[in-house]
């Protein structure tokens, strides 16, 4: 008999379906559903959430805010929308963010799941800010490649249609107004003073994400000054070795079960954005050279970037082994 009842509000969407697939193999979890035509009514959904140990909200932002207003504080919620990620009273659902984040998640009834693009950026930038390597006032640039599954059912149908237009066989940039909905959490959770210049791109493959952040010389704490570069990192007048940056990540993420810090810092060739597809972890990579290091995060936009992260948060909130039901192959 299942120990816990879980409700997925928005179970027919891409993220909801993925969460359901994770939980479908779990004997300790019963996924409850509403019945018939009543399944879409607010009151029926509210009752289902109240009767569950935890509920996932896999809804558009407005719908998420609407249902949350109807719920008591006792209801335990994991919201996968962007509605509450920087909202007071909500805990950001990235266990690896700080040493105290797991405890905050475990005790909270309101957990906001991170955004897919934002996850990679935060994993890359937060340790460098905390180590004192780069200034919070830095103007940071980032690019992010994602598979088309990140756009939901409509985008998936468009890309997989036999009538697909030829342009969709090439990468497409979006978020051109620099108002992408992930920017607030990228700024708040890293502690940077300015929103990053961010260029997301959707490409012609199903799943996988690659976030890249170049580190420019004017971002570093001044070499030869009295500023503390943090944790023994040595910055000379002409830059910092990629290997020293990699060590910062190793120290920060330690034995994190879902974070892989790639040991190869100097390599020619290609980085493929889909290499972590179906994996629930995130890979951190450091490339470039002493003058122009490049840091990269590679993961699956539907797994560590969405549904897998939500299941990880659920496990923590229920006091279950954090990685239960997740693929943590190294």
List, for residues 94-130, the tens digit of each pLDDT value: 999 999 999 999 999 999 999 999 999 999 999 999 9
Determine, yes or no, domain membership for 236. Answer: yes
Determine, yes or no, domain membership for 260. Answer: yes
Q: Is the pLDDT of residue 223 over 60?
A: no
The CA distance from 240 to 21, in Å, is: 44
**Which parts of the chain fold into alpha helices (H)?**
14-23, 42-50, 61-69, 101-107, 116-130, 152-160, 183-190, 242-253, 308-318
Reported confidence tier of residue 235, pLDDT bands at 50, 70, 90: low
Tokens encoding 198: 């961010």
Which of 15, 58, 75, 116 is labelled catalytic?
116
Percent of the chain with pLDDT over 70: 92
pTM attached to this predicted model: 0.93
Same domain, 135 and 11: no
Same domain, 196 and 138: yes
Same domain, 189 and 243: yes
Question: Domain tally for the chain?
Answer: 2
The CA distance from 142 to 324, in Å, is: 32
Same domain, 166 and 201: yes
Determine, yes or no, domain membership for 323. Answer: no
Same domain, 92 and 189: no
- Domain, as residue range, for 125: 116-302
Reported confidence tier of residue 70, pLDDT bands at 50, 70, 90: very high
Q: Is the pLDDT of residue 192 over 80?
A: yes
Same domain, 260 and 147: yes
Give mean pLDDT, residues 79-88: 97
Instruction: Give yes or no: 116 in active site.
Output: yes
Same domain, 276 and 314: no
Give the range among 116-125, 137-146, 155-164, 201-210 with minimum mean pLDDT: 155-164
């Amino acid at each position: 008999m299942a120990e816990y009842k879980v409700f997925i509000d928005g179970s027919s969407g891409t993220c909801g379906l993925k969460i359901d697939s994770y939980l479908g193999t779990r004997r300790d979890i019963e996924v409850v559903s509403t019945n018939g035509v009543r399944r879409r009514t607010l009151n029926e959904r509210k009752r289902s959430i109240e009767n569950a140990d935890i509920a996932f909200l896999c809804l558009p932002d407005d719908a998420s805010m609407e249902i949350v207003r109807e719920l008591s504080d006792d209801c335990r919620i994991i919201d996968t929308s962007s509605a509450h990620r920087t909202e007071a009273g909500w805990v950001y659902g990235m266990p690896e963010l700080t040493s105290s984040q797991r405890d905050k998640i475990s005790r909270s009834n309101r957990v906001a799941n991170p955004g897919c693009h934002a996850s990679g950026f935060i994993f890359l930038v937060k340790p460098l800010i905390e180590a004192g390597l780069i200034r919070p006032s830095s103007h940071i640039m980032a690019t992010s490649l994602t598979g088309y599954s990140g756009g939901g059912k409509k985008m998936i149908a468009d890309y997989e249609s036999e009538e697909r237009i030829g342009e969709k066989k090439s990468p497409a940039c979006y978020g051109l107004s620099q108002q992408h909905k992930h920017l607030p959490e990228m700024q708040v959770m890293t502690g940077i003073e300015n929103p990053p210049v961010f260029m997301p791109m959707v490409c012609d493959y199903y799943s996988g994400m690659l976030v890249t952040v170049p580190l420019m010389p004017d971002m570093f704490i001044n070499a030869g000054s009295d500023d503390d570069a943090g944790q023994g990192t040595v910055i000379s007048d002409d830059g910092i070795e990629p290997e020293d940056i990699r060590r910062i990540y190793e120290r920060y993420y330690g034995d994190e079960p879902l974070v892989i810090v790639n040991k190869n810092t100097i390599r020619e060739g290609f980085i493929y954005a889909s290499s972590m597809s179906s994996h629930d972890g995130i890979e951190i990579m450091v490339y470039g050279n002493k003058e122009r290091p490049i840091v990269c995060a590679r993961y699956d936009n539907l797994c560590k970037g969405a549904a897998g992260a939500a299941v990880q948060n659920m496990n923590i909130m229920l006091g279950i082994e954090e990685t239960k039901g997740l693929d943590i192959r190294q």
